[in-house]
């Protein structure tokens, strides 16, 4: 095939980019070379629209061993233990083929983690679907959940937490973000930087097929009417092979045979070989006839661009080939020496004894285009003055029931019942809590992890929204008694070539940066997913934040279920009753306008650290952060989990009860304490200038607002637990 | 007491089982599926997971693996063989236990706590166990036990239905049947009562910080019975 501008454009490159390639090479690339450029220069691999802004992220901290730029981030959790973690999107493929798209998303992120020498110990996910009424939503949800479960369950890694939301902006572009945590000895971490010349380059894992060719390019474009035709670009997962690959890699990693290792994710063999060589400032030479292929007569172009799953590229020490091969033979995994490192600084490919590509590595990596895209600042929306009569006809008990059965608040057990969340025998907080918690096997430590996003807030005001999610992640970790350490982010946005979308991205990133700096909660890994757009309709900006924290002694972990009748419930943090952008405003008042709740980072930090102090001093029986649906939804969940009730005190403040109970002000926690501990708790809160209210007293049953208004826990439970199951059955 | 846990490619509860057995005093060894011989053992365990990816049919390829003939010989000579989850599926595939495990009735993977009622205590696994009902954990896609009516009659006549899904008070009905298993069967014994296959995972319930502690009872009791 002759390469020209049209062919380049069909590969997703633009005219300028094609010209730049010809200028750099001082010739027209051949088709294999063009394929390689298009794979390395697409948005997904090159971060060309986002790179400029990602540089500003707060990525350093005392506990950070490895920040962004590697397969995953690494943090220190003491005693030579380190946690490797990352979140990644698999949005485009999951919309086209939900089962395989989601499954390979989980497979890909686990490979990123075990590539670094870590055994995966927990999976999480953040998944977002269109309106429940949309005709595709149900099947997409079913397929994605089955895909996540199908992969994670088979590998035997527990899925410990997640988040599911519904919004019409995802009708044409669902989001599937998968996160994995792995455990590694901090002195035995493996990196992707190749070193040394004439070192053997080894291919291990599944054979290469024609699946997933141009997957990364597909993920770098908007959808149109013809998306069904893109099905062949979706990869097919084989969790069984991944399980064998995982065990074989960890076995090989037990000694020092490996110089560098990189999984073949987006853009397959192309990006893995280029990245390893680029980081080591080396060249690489591959003989493509040596690559194990699943199909006959695959061309160099297809071999280089295939995104077949469950494959790894390794640069090995000389002389270790036999030993390594033995391990992979034992696990019945393909092992092939396909090339070597060189000092040419070029990637050189051979096929049928001919050189089929020769490109300086720098052109693909360092010289990849970087764009400073135009972006529009988004103003804080005007505040809405709710009037007395807006609330006049409303009854608090009806509002609560309605919110409990909305798609975004209702119980998600239908989902996590399908995920194995107890395998590995260390899950001490299951899905459905503020964070999932797994013990570090054989120690007294545990790690907590949570994943959050707030697209409505980010859509209303990206800067506040960006800050808010980081804070929510921090709160979710504190609520289980964990010390927040670091985050990973998955930045899901629309088309960056539009100023508004780019503005949303830039300002969300600002918000994330500001909050993570203030809270000393650095970003150690992540990815960007642009072009979540179909026929000109983009998603609401949806950065997902995955937070990780440490519990030094897992016996002190806190859960949200109410424990004992007679205990007192406090609201830590001040309630001013911010209703705009709340679930209440949207679902009860049908009001979508107004600014999101203000994020005050000082209060966030102070309230959080003080709550953590109360937990560490063993003064807290249960804890839950206040988020969607406000105080009343939060306390209801605590009641349902603990099968207890609450007698709520008469309100004292000036704000009306709807604002108090349903407002979504930030930096708040509900805590259950023993009566006798109240003076101590009061002292600590006062000393730290933390505002608190006494919400009420734990009773055996019912949520009681007054003698007249009593809601039975059984009724509330039915309302809360039935929506999703009913929706999926009908 | 000596135990051996067989590792098949795709097993994923092998470590959890090893941890549990050791915690309660077994000297446990891990055995690779391609090995020829079993180490000297008082108990052989086939752990949960997705042996060989469960691609053909759950447990079917593991049922033909190299080590399995030694396991069959061991079982036929009266040795104790315990199969949990995928291990249960493998035992039915080898023919050591009757029946099959079909896909769950709701065609979904199910991971949750369940109660099981102990129907037969005249065996090494449940003899002397203090409780009548245990709370254990299930995590499977194919746990829907089925067998022919002749086989079912034999199981019942011979008191081979070891454990059945029930509520916390020990009542078995359709509401507490998680996967559609015939007669709420959660686990069965062979006619000599030395082989037990069951879907619930006792190894996931071995301390109070996990989903529960009834798995501890199971292992402690089994060890004591073996010592006698």
Mean residue pLDDT of chain B comes to: 95
Q: What is the mean pLDDT of residues A611-638?
A: 97
Q: Say yes or no to pLDDT of A106 above 80.
A: yes
Q: What is the mean pLDDT of residues A510-517?
A: 97
* Domain, as residue range, for B68: 2-227
Tell me if A423 and B10 make a contact (CB, 8 A cut-off).
no
Measured at the alpha carbon of residue B212, what is the angle toward residues B211 and B215, in degrees to the nearest 5? Answer: 115
Tell me if B10 and A146 make a contact (CB, 8 A cut-off).
no
Alpha-carbon gap: A726 to the closest alpha carbon of chain B (Å): 14
Number of domains composing chain B: 1
Q: How confident is the model at residue B179 (pLDDT cuts 50, 70, 90)?
A: very high
Query: What pLDDT was estimated at residue A713?
Result: 94
A399-413 CB burial, b ≥16 within 10 A, e <16 = bbbbbbbbbbbbbbb
Tell me if B49 and A428 make a contact (CB, 8 A cut-off).
no
Q: Say yes or no to pLDDT of A729 above 90.
A: no
Tell me if B108 and A332 make a contact (CB, 8 A cut-off).
no
Nearest to B162 by CA among B106, B91, B58: B91
Q: What is the mean pLDDT of residues A348-360?
A: 95
Task: With beta carbons less than 8 A apart as the criterion, state whether A483 and A580 touch.
Answer: no
Q: How far apart (Å, rounded) are the C-alpha atoms in residues B146 and B116?
A: 17
User: Which burial class, exposed, middle or buried, applies to A244 when counting CB atoms under 10 A from its CB (0-12, 13-18, 19+)?
Assistant: buried
Tell me if A425 and B20 make a contact (CB, 8 A cut-off).
yes
The total of other beta-carbon atoms located within 10 Å of residue A577's CB is 21
The total of other beta-carbon atoms located within 10 Å of residue A189's CB is 18
Q: Say yes or no to pLDDT of B194 above 70.
A: yes
A225-243 CB burial, b ≥16 within 10 A, e <16 = eebeebeebbbbbbbbbbb
Which of B111, B206, B210 is opposite residue A420, by nearest beta carbon? B111
Which of B50, B203, B209 is opposite residue A154, by nearest beta carbon? B50
Task: With beta carbons less than 8 A apart as the criterion, state whether A362 and A283 touch.
Answer: no
The half-sphere exposure of B56 on its side-chain side, counting CA atoms within 13 A, is 11
Q: Rg for chain A (alpha carbons), in Å?
A: 26
Q: Say yes or no to pLDDT of A422 above 80.
A: yes
Query: What pLDDT was estimated at residue A231?
Result: 62
Per the listing, tokens 């369940």 go with B114
Q: CA dihedral defined by A130, A135, A139, A141, rounded to 10 degrees?
A: 20
DSSP chain B: -EEEEEE-TTB-SHHHHHHHHHHTT-EEEEEETT-SSPPS-SEEEE--B-GGGG-SSTTTTGGGSTTHHHHHHHHHTT-EEEEETHHHHHHHHHTSS-SEEE--TTSS-EEEEEEEEE---SSTTTTT-S-SEEEEEEEES--EEE--HHHHHHHHHTT-EEEEEE-TTS---GGG-SS--GGGEEEEE-TTS-EEEESSBGGG--BTTTTBSHHHHHHHHHHHHHH-
Selected for mutation to probe chain B from A120, A415, A423, A428 (highest B CB count within 10 Å) is A423
Selected for mutation to probe chain A from B5, B7, B9 (highest A CB count within 10 Å) is B9
Q: Say yes or no to pLDDT of A222 above 70.
A: no
Distance of CA A7 to the CA centre of its chain: 35
Nearest to A151 by CA among A241, A22, A83: A241
**Contact status of A111 with chain B (Cβ, < 8 Å):** no
ipTM here: 0.95
SS3 A250: helix
Which of A155, A425, A439 is opposite residue B204, by nearest beta carbon? A425
Tell me if A428 and B108 make a contact (CB, 8 A cut-off).
no
**Contact status of A546 with chain B (Cβ, < 8 Å):** no
Q: How far apart (Å, rounded) are the C-alpha atoms in residues A176 and A90?
A: 5
Query: What pLDDT was estimated at residue A385?
Result: 85
Q: Which residues of A touch B109 (CB under 8 A)?
A: 146, 149-150, 153, 417-420
Selected for mutation to probe chain A from B106, B109, B199, B207 (highest A CB count within 10 Å) is B109
Task: With beta carbons less than 8 A apart as the criterion, state whether A470 and A520 touch.
Answer: no
Nearest to A727 by CA among A145, A56, A10: A145
Q: Say yes or no to pLDDT of A337 above 80.
A: yes
Query: What pLDDT was estimated at residue A223?
Result: 67
**Contact status of A240 with chain B (Cβ, < 8 Å):** yes
Q: What percent of chain A has pLDDT over 90?
A: 86
Q: What is the mean pLDDT of residues A570-598?
A: 95
Q: How confident is the model at residue A537 (pLDDT cuts 50, 70, 90)?
A: confident
**Contact status of A412 with chain B (Cβ, < 8 Å):** no
Q: What percent of chain A has pLDDT over 70?
A: 97
Q: What is the mean pLDDT of residues B72-84?
A: 95
Q: How far apart (Å, rounded) are the C-alpha atoms in residues A255 and A247?
A: 14
Which residues are CB-neighbours of A382 under 8 A, at least 6 positions away? A593, A594, A595
Q: What is the mean pLDDT of residues A510-520?
A: 97
Nearest CA in chain B to A442: B19
- Tokens for A626, please give them: 């206040």
Q: How far apart (Å, rounded) are the C-alpha atoms in residues A722 and A718?
A: 6
For the domain that residue B9 is a member of, what is the CATH number? 3.40.50.880
Task: With beta carbons less than 8 A apart as the criterion, state whether A593 and A381 touch.
Answer: yes
- Helices in A428-498 by DSSP H: which ranges? 455-460, 462-478
Task: With beta carbons less than 8 A apart as the criterion, state whether B128 and B175 touch.
Answer: no
Task: With beta carbons less than 8 A apart as the criterion, state whether B194 and B204 touch.
Answer: no
Q: What is the mean pLDDT of residues A524-541?
A: 92
Tell me if B50 and A243 make a contact (CB, 8 A cut-off).
yes
SS3 A125: strand
SS3 content of chain A, % helix, strand, coil (to 5): 40, 25, 40
Long-range pairs of B116-119 with CB within 8 A, sequence gap ≥ 24: B116/B163, B116/B164, B116/B165, B116/B166, B116/B186, B116/B187, B116/B198, B116/B200, B117/B163, B117/B164, B117/B165, B117/B166, B117/B170, B117/B172, B118/B162, B118/B163, B119/B159, B119/B161, B119/B162, B119/B163, B119/B164
Q: Say yes or no to pLDDT of B56 above 90.
A: no
Nearest to A453 by CA among A422, A489, A479, A428: A489
Q: Which residues of B touch A243 (CB under 8 A)?
A: 9-10, 12, 50
Q: Say yes or no to pLDDT of A234 above 70.
A: yes
Q: Say yes or no to pLDDT of A175 above 70.
A: yes
Tell me if A243 and B19 make a contact (CB, 8 A cut-off).
no
Selected for mutation to probe chain A from B5, B10, B216 (highest A CB count within 10 Å) is B10
Distance of CA A583 to the CA centre of its chain: 23
Catalytic residues of B: 85, 201, 203
Query: What pLDDT was estimated at residue A535?
Result: 85
Q: How far apart (Å, rounded) are the C-alpha atoms in residues B85 and B94?
A: 15
DSSP classification of residue A439:
E
Q: Which residues of A touch B209 (CB under 8 A)?
A: 428, 439, 554-555, 557
Q: What is the mean pLDDT of residues A568-572?
A: 97
The total of other beta-carbon atoms located within 10 Å of residue A300's CB is 24
Tell me if B111 and A421 make a contact (CB, 8 A cut-off).
yes
Mean residue pLDDT of chain A comes to: 93
Q: Say yes or no to pLDDT of A304 above 80.
A: yes
Catalytic residues of A: 44, 90
Which of B16, B53, B209 is opposite residue A423, by nearest beta carbon? B16
Query: What is the interface size between A and B, counted as CB pairs within 8 Å?
Result: 86
Indicate the helix (H) or strand (E) that contains A639: helix A630-642
Q: Say yes or no to pLDDT of A266 above 90.
A: no
Q: What is the mean pLDDT of residues B4-30?
A: 96
Residue-wise pLDDT tens digits, A675-694: 999 999 999 999 999 999 99
Q: What is the mean pLDDT of residues A217-242?
A: 72
Tell me if A240 and B10 make a contact (CB, 8 A cut-off).
yes
Which of A150, A243, A428 is opposite residue B10, by nearest beta carbon? A243
């Amino acid at each position: 095939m002759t390469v020209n501008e049209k062919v380049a454009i069909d590969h997703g490159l633009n005219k300028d980019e094609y010209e730049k390639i010809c200028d750099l090479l001082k010739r027209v690339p051949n088709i294999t070379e063009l394929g390689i450029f298009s794979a390395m220069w697409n948005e997904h691999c090159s971060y060309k629209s986002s790179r400029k802004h990602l540089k500003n992220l707060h990525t350093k901290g005392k506990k950070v061993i490895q920040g962004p730029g590697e397969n995953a981030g690494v943090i220190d959790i003491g005693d030579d233990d380190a946690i490797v973690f990352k979140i990644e999107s698999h949005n485009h493929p999951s919309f086209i083929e939900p089962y395989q798209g989601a499954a390979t998303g989980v497979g890909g992120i686990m490979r990123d983690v075990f590539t670094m020498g870590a055994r995966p110990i927990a999976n999480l996910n953040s998944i977002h679907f269109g309106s429940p009424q949309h005709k595709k939503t149900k099947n997409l949800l079913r397929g994605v959940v089955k895909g996540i479960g199908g992969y994670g369950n088979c590998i035997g890694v527990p899925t410990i937490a997640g988040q599911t939301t519904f919004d019409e902006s995802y009708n044409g572009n669902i989001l599937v973000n998968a996160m994995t945590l792995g455990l590694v000895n901090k002195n035995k971490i493996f990196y992707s930087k190749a070193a040394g010349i004439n070192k053997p380059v080894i291919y291990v894992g599944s054979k290469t097929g024609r699946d997933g060719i141009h997957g990364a390019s597909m993920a770098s474009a908007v959808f149109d009417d013809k998306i069904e035709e893109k099905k062949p670009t979706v990869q097919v997962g084989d969790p069984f092979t991944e399980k064998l690959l995982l065990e074989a890699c960890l076995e090989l990693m037990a000694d020092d045979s490996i110089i560098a290792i990189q999984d073949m994710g987006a853009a397959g063999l192309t990006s893995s070989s280029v990245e390893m060589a680029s980081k080591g400032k080396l060249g690489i030479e591959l003989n493509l006839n040596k690559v194990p292929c699943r199909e006959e007569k695959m061309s160099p172009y297809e071999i280089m661009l295939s995104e077949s799953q469950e494959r790894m590229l390794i640069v090995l020490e000389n002389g270790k080939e036999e030993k390594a091969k033995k391990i992979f033979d034992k696990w019945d995994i393909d092992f092939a020496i396909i090339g070597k490192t060189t000092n040419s600084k070029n990637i050189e490919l051979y096929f049928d004894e001919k050189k089929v590509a020769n490109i300086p590595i720098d052109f693909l990596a360092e010289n990849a285009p970087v764009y400073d895209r135009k972006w529009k600042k988004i103003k804080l929306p005007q505040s809405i003055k709710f009037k007395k009569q807006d609330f006049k006809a409303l009854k608090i008990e009806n509002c609560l029931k309605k919110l409990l059965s909305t798609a975004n608040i209702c119980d998600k057990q239908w989902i996590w019942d399908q995920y194995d969340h107890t395998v590995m025998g260390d899950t001490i907080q299951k899905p459905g809590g503020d964070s999932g918690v797994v013990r570090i096997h054989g120690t007294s430590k545990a790690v907590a992890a949570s994943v959050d996003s707030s697209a409505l807030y980010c859509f209303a005001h990206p800067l506040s929204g960006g800050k808010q999610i980081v804070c929510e992640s921090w709160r979710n970790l504190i609520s289980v008694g964990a010390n927040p350490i670091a985050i990973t982010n998955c930045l899901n946005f629309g088309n960056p070539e539009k100023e508004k979308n780019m503005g949303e991205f830039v300002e969300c990133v600002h918000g994330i940066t500001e909050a993570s700096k203030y809270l000393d909660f650095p970003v150690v890994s992540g990815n960007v997913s642009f072009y979540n757009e179909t026929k000109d309709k983009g998603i609401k900006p949806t950065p997902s934040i995955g937070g990780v924290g440490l519990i030094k002694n897992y016996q002190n972990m806190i859960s949200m279920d109410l424990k004992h009748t007679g205990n007192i419930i406090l609201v830590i943090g001040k309630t001013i009753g911010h209703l705009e952008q709340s679930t209440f405003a949207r679902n009860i008042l049908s009001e979508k306008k107004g600014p999101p709740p203000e994020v005050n980072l000082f209060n966030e930090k102070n309230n959080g650290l003080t709550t953590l102090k109360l937990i560490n001093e063993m003064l807290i029986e249960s804890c839950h952060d206040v988020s969607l649906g406000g105080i009343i939804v939060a306390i209801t969940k605590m009641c349902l989990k603990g099968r207890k009730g609450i007698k709520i005190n008469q309100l004292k403040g000036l704000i009306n009860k709807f604002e108090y109970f349903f407002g979504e002000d930030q930096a708040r926690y509900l805590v259950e304490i023993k009566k006798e501990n109240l003076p101590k708790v009061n002292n600590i809160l006062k000393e730290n200038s933390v505002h608190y209210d006494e919400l009420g007293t734990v009773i055996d049953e019912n949520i009681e607002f007054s003698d007249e208004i009593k809601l039975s826990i059984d009724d509330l439970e039915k309302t809360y637990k039935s929506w999703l199951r009913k929706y999926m059955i009908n | 007491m000596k135990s051996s846990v067989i590792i098949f490619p795709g097993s994923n509860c092998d470590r959890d089982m090893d941890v549990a057995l050791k915690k309660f005093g077994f000297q446990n060894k891990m055995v690779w599926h391609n090995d020829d011989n079993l180490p000297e053992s008082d108990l052989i365990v086939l752990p949960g997971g997705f042996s060989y990816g469960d691609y053909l049919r759950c447990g079917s390829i593991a049922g033909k693996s190299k080590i399995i003939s030694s396991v069959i010989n061991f079982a036929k000579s009266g040795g104790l063989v315990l199969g949990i989850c995928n291990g249960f599926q493998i035992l039915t595939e080898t023919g050591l236990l009757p029946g099959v495990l079909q896909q769950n009735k709701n065609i979904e993977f199910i991971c949750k706590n369940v109660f099981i009622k102990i129907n037969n205590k005249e065996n090494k696994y449940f003899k002397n166990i203090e409780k009548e009902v245990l709370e254990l954990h299930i995590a499977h896609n194919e746990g829907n036990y089925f067998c022919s009516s002749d086989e079912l009659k034999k199981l019942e006549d011979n008191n081979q239905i070891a454990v059945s899904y029930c509520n916390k008070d020990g009542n078995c009905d359709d509401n507490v049947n998680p996967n559609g298993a015939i007669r709420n069967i959660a686990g069965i014994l062979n006619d000599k009562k030395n082989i037990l296959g069951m879907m619930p995972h006792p190894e996931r319930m071995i301390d109070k910080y996990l989903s529960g502690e009834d798995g501890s009872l199971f292992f402690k009791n089994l060890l004591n019975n073996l010592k006698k």
